[in-house]
Amino acid sequence: MLNKVPEVTIYFWIIKILCTTIGESLADYINETLGFGLGPTTVLMTVLLVIALVAQFRRRQYVPAVYWTNVALISVVGTLVTDNLTDGLGVDLALSTAVFTVLLAFTFLAWYRSEHTLSIHSIVTTRRESFYWLTVLVTFALGTAAGDLLTDRLGISLIAAVLIFAAVIALIFAAHRVAGLGPILSFWIAYIFTRPLGGSTGDFLSGTRSEGGAGLGTLGTSLIFLAAIVATVAYLTVTKKDQTERRPLTDAEFRTGITDADPDLSSLIH
C-alpha cells in the first residue's frame, strides 16, 4: 500500500484541532442537548467509527475525506470514553490520566517491538495502520482526561484554558525547533495537547456568556467547525498539498520510514 497517513503540514494541525473541537461540542450536543444520554451516544458514535474504520482500512492509500472522517469520529469516541469513566463510573480524572498514559506507553512499545519503527511515514501495512489508529484513540482519551483534570483542578476560565494549551503547544514547537526535541516525541506530545486545546476551544465557543463563553451553543460550534473541516479537506483533495509520497516504499524505506521525498526524517525512527 501507499502511505495511509497525510504529510504533517500546517493543514494537518489545523484539521486536527478542528476535529478535536468537534469531538467536544458534538458529543455534548448529542448527549445533553438532544438528550440521548451518555450510553446511547457512545454506542451510536462507536458504530459510526467502526464503519468509518472499515472504509479506511479498505483503501490502499491516503484519501483525505475518509481519513479525516475517522479522526473526527475518534475524537468524539475518545471524549466519550473518558466521559463514561468520569461521569458514568465515577473514576477520578487523575486515575484516568495515569491509566491512559500507561496504556499509551504500552501501545508505543508494542508498535515499536513489532515494526522497529514509529514513523508515521511508513503506515503501509494493515498491522502498522492498526497500531496507528489505536494510538490516535488513546491520545484522544488521554488528552480529554488530562485537559479536564487541569481545568477542573485549577479552576481556570474557559478563555484562559484555550490560551494555556495554545501556549503549551507553542513551547513544544519551540523546543523542537530551538532546543532539539526529537521530531517523533514532539509530534506525539503536540498531538496529545491539541485535544485539550480543541476541547477548551469548543467549551469556550459553546459556553454561555454568563460562564465566560462565546454563547454559540454546542450545535452552532459543531456546525461552524464541521464546515471548516469540510472546506479544508475539499481543498486538500483538489490540491493534494498533504500528499508528497505517491509510490510504494522500497524495502529500506519500509524498514526505516525514511523516504527520498523526505530525507530529513531519520531522527523519527528511534
Q: How far is Cα 265 from Cα 120, in angstroms, rounded to an integer?
A: 10
268 pLDDT tier (thresholds 50, 70, 90): very low
Angle among Cα 151, 152, 158 to the nearest 5 degrees reads 45
146 pLDDT tier (thresholds 50, 70, 90): confident
Mean pLDDT of 74-91: 91
Of 43, 51, 81, 59, which is closest to residue 4 (Cα–Cα)?
A: 59
φ/ψ of residue 8, rounded to 5:
-85, 90
Task: Specify the range with the lowest mean pLDDT, choosing from 70-84, 185-199, 247-261.
Answer: 247-261
Q: Which amino acid is at 41?
A: T
- Per-residue cell: 158: 474557559
Please indicate whether residue 65 or residue 29 has the higher confidence score (pLDDT).
65
Q: Write the pLDDT tens digit of every residue in 237-265.
A: 999 999 865 556 566 666 655 554 443 33
Q: Is the pLDDT reported for residue 57 higher than 90?
A: yes
Please indicate whether residue 254 or residue 61 has the higher confidence score (pLDDT).
61
Q: Write the pLDDT tens digit of every residue in 121-137.
A: 889 899 999 999 999 99
Of 25, 114, 19, which is closest to residue 71 (Cα–Cα)?
A: 19
Task: Specify the range with the lowest mean pLDDT, choosing from 98-112, 199-213, 246-260.
Answer: 246-260
The pLDDT assigned to 75 comes to 92
The pLDDT assigned to 244 comes to 65
Do 87 and 38 contact (CB within 8 A), yes or no? yes
Q: What are the Cα distances from residue 91, in Å, to 42, 95, 143, 259?
A: 17, 7, 16, 44
Do 218 and 28 contact (CB within 8 A), yes or no? yes
The pLDDT assigned to 261 comes to 41
Of 64, 164, 40, 17, which is closest to residue 25 (Cα–Cα)?
A: 17
Q: What are the Cα distances from residue 3, in Å, to 51, 81, 121, 231?
A: 21, 29, 7, 23
Cα of first residue to Cα of last residue in the chain, in angstroms, is 23
The torsion defined by the Cα of 15, 21, 23 and 24, in degrees rounded to 10, comes to 170
The pLDDT assigned to 267 comes to 34
Of 143, 11, 136, which is closest to residue 70 (Cα–Cα)?
A: 136
Sequence-ordered alpha helix ranges (H) in 92-182: 93-115, 126-154, 158-177
Q: Is the pLDDT reported for residue 158 higher than 90?
A: no
Domain spans of the chain? Answer: 10-243
Residue 34 C-alpha from the chain's centroid: 25
Q: Is the pLDDT reported for residue 116 higher than 80?
A: yes
